[in-house]
Amino acid sequence: MLKLFFSTKVDYHFLYDNSGDNMNKRFFAWVGIAILSGLIMGNIFYKQYEKEQHLDNDYNSYLLQLGVYDSKEDMNKALESVENYMVVEKDNKFYVYLGISTKKDNAEKVADVFSKEDINVSIKKTVIDNVEFISNLEQFDILLDNASNSEDIKSINEVILSSYEEMVLNN
């Protein structure tokens, strides 16, 4: 009895088939299937995670577009009454923007300031992938949320435009 209690022999009967001679092939088959399933599921979840991370790096923003012009002369004529603006040349056309925001409400607020000066702008949704600029823009949006008069809104908007030119267009 004492020998049985202090025995170091461990009974691994579940690893052997009924005859006790061979390892149970079914046990290792199930272990292999479990490992393979884990690898496949891990790969699927990792790819989904990477996809979500990539999507999170792009941020929706709203551009206040004055217009799109085929020539510099037409663009300059339209800009006679505008103080602060940004021009993006793309596909031999000149896109003129008067503001940017991450919040549609703020974009509409700035657009209202321009409409009081008889400057009509359209709000265009876009994606900006510059994380540093978006971080700054979100801070400016907090200021725009609290701005109440036209001069404050215009001065914040001027800083936003120069920040965009410096951080996004010049890089």
> pLDDT tens across 51-74, in order?
665 545 457 899 999 999 999 999
Question: What is the band of 12 on the pLDDT scale with cuts at 50, 70, 90?
Answer: low
CATH number of the domain located at residue range(s) 59-169 in this protein: 3.30.70.1070
Beta carbons within 10 angstroms of residue 107's beta carbon? 23
The pLDDT of 13-27, averaged and rounded, is 58
Q: Name the token pair of 34.
A: 């479990």
Q: pTM of the predicted model, to two decimals?
A: 0.64
- Identify the bridge partners of residue 86 per DSSP, sorted by sequence position: 97
Residues 88 and 160: their CA atoms lie apart, in Å, by: 15
pLDDT tens string 100-113: 999 999 999 999 99
Question: What is the band of 165 on the pLDDT scale with cuts at 50, 70, 90?
Answer: confident
Give the residue carrying structure tokens 């409400």: 105
Q: Which residues contact 20 (CB under 8 A, 6 or more apart)?
A: 13
The pLDDT of 5-15, averaged and rounded, is 55
Residue 4: predicted pLDDT:
52
